[in-house]
Amino acid sequence: MTATVQTAPGMAAPVSKSLWALGWQRLKRNKVGFISLWVVSVYLLIALGGWFNVVGGNWLNEIAVPYAPPSWVGASGADVMPADAYDASGVESSAPIVTLARQEDPIGKELTEAEKDAGRYKVEEVKKRESLPFGADLRGRDVLQKTLKGTSTSIFVGIFGAVLALLIGTTLGAVSGYFGGKIDDLLTWFYSVFTSVPDMLLLLSFAAVSGRGITTIIMVMALTSWTGTYRLVRAEYLKLKSREYVQAASAIGASHSRRMFVHILPNISHLLLVQFSLMTVALIKYEAILSFLGFGVGVRQVSLGSMLAEAPSELVQGYWWQMLAVTIAMSILVTAFSLLVDALRDALDPKVK
């Protein structure tokens, strides 16, 4: 990016600044945008920590009693459904247990065999906690840890999906807009095919034929959501390819790929950043819906959507904390990200001085 182009005529700046430096300055002035930048950074740190198992790495540990209430709720949460009410009624109605001697028991031999080794596999009995900072789920896992890990998974799915989609969309859009002609016709046809099927239907069709898990979701999302970027990038390349600086590059013998990706691409990078943030938010929401419908992450993984999928059955029993935790985590993330997108769009708009 040539710095002089971006300098405003009315601004008597001694040193002309690049679009990015100007954008950063404008972003810092925008209070809402700057705060959301910090919030998003914190979330990204959590995501990174979750990826390397520093944050929420032991969410699978069953450290508390099932549905342990949050510690700040106190007794009121516990008396929704007393833990021992079920056992008490169970004892009264239970039928007499018939015991068999080892000799008459058909599996007696195997039982003796099994008990011999039982000592070796004894599970250390850990004292389960009665309450946790944000309660526990059905298996007594810490909701706070689970939310952190789930947020991390969701953000990673969103970011990787968006990066891949951006990569596909930018490459195809650049080739299409730069070369034009037959290639453009072919790629535009490809684009119109993908846009004539609704995203969600395409996502589900992909999910139907491929297995389940995080990698699949990321691939599926990338393959279905590159179209917006394609349209944007293609239009920009159509406009920019005949500009003087591209002609100049061509005159000094720059190759097609060099002109496309070294000369033109930096000039639309601000659009790509906005597009990337927009897509990340959208994909985080999509992931939640996919996981909720059961096409998302596997059983050994957790994401915000898979946590929400547990919420309906928990709510009926009066255990609301998991849903609250997810709602808070997700709302703050989505709000901060959306506000950041708005601020970025304003800050990086070259027309605004």
Partner 1 sequence: MSAYIIRRILQMIPTLFGVMLLVFTLFTLVGGDPTYILAGKHLTAEVLANLRAQLGLDKTLPEQFMIFVRQVLTLDFGTSWSTQQPVSDIISTRIGPSLTLTGSMMIVDLLIAIPLAAAVAYFRGGLTDRIVTIACTVAMSISALVYIIAGQYFLAYRMEMFPVRGWGDSLLTNLLVYVPLPLLMGLMVSLGPDIRFYRSFFLEEMNHDYVRTARAKGLSEKTVMLKHVLRNAMIPVVTTVMMSLPFLMIGALVLESFFGIPGMGNEVVMAVNKSDFPVIKAVTIYIALATMLFNLLADLVYKLIDPRVQLK
Quickly count: other Cβ atoms within 10 Å of residue 158's Cβ. Answer: 26
Pick from 74, 90, 133, 198: which binds partner 1 (CB under 8 A)? 198
Pick from 47, 207, 222, 260: which binds partner 1 (CB under 8 A)? 207
Per CB under 8 A, 190 contacts partner 1: yes
DSSP SS3 for 129: strand
Tell me how far, at minimum, the Cβ of 316 lies from partner 1, in Å. Answer: 7
Closest C-alpha among 311, 288, 325 to residue 138: 311
Nearer to partner 1, 51 or 194 (CB): 194
Pick from 206, 245, 261, 276: which binds partner 1 (CB under 8 A)? 206
Q: How far is CA 167 from CA 18, 25, 161, 254, in A?
A: 24, 28, 10, 23
Per CB under 8 A, 197 contacts partner 1: yes
The sign of the dihedral angle between the CA atoms of 53, 34, 277, 303 is positive
Tell me how far, at minimum, the Cβ of 36 lies from partner 1, in Å. Answer: 11
Per CB under 8 A, 298 contacts partner 1: no
Tell me how far, at minimum, the Cβ of 216 lies from partner 1, in Å. Answer: 11
Name residue, tokens 């906690």: 129
Nearer to partner 1, 164 or 202 (CB): 202
DSSP SS3 for 71: coil
What span, in angstroms and rounded, lies between the C-alpha atoms of 260 and 198? 31
**Mask for 326-345, x = binds partner 1 (CB under 8 A):** xx--xxx-xx--xx------
Pick from 292, 296, 302, 348: which binds partner 1 (CB under 8 A)? 292
Per CB under 8 A, 193 contacts partner 1: yes
Tell me how far, at minimum, the Cβ of 183 lies from partner 1, in Å. Answer: 16
Closest C-alpha among 291, 312, 290 to residue 138: 312
Tell me how far, at minimum, the Cβ of 205 lies from partner 1, in Å. Answer: 6
Q: What is the DSSP letter of 120?
A: G
Give DSSP secondary structure letters for 63-122. Answer: -B-TTPPBTTTTHHHHTTS-TTHHHHHHHHHPPPPPP--TTT-TTHHHHHHHHHHHGGGP
Per CB under 8 A, 3 contacts partner 1: no
Name residue, tokens 């007594």: 140
Can you say how many angstroms the Cα of residue 120 is from the centroid of all Cα atoms in its chain? 42
346 exposed, middle or buried (CB, 10 Å; 0-12, 13-18, 19+)? Answer: middle
Per CB under 8 A, 182 contacts partner 1: no
Per CB under 8 A, 226 contacts partner 1: no
**Mask for 300-329, x = binds partner 1 (CB under 8 A):** ----xx--x--xx--xx------x--xx--
Closest C-alpha among 211, 104, 107, 222 to residue 162: 222
Binding site for partner 1 (CB under 8 A): 189-190, 192-198, 200-202, 204-210, 285, 288-289, 292-295, 304-305, 308, 311-312, 315-316, 323, 326-327, 330-332, 334-335, 338-339
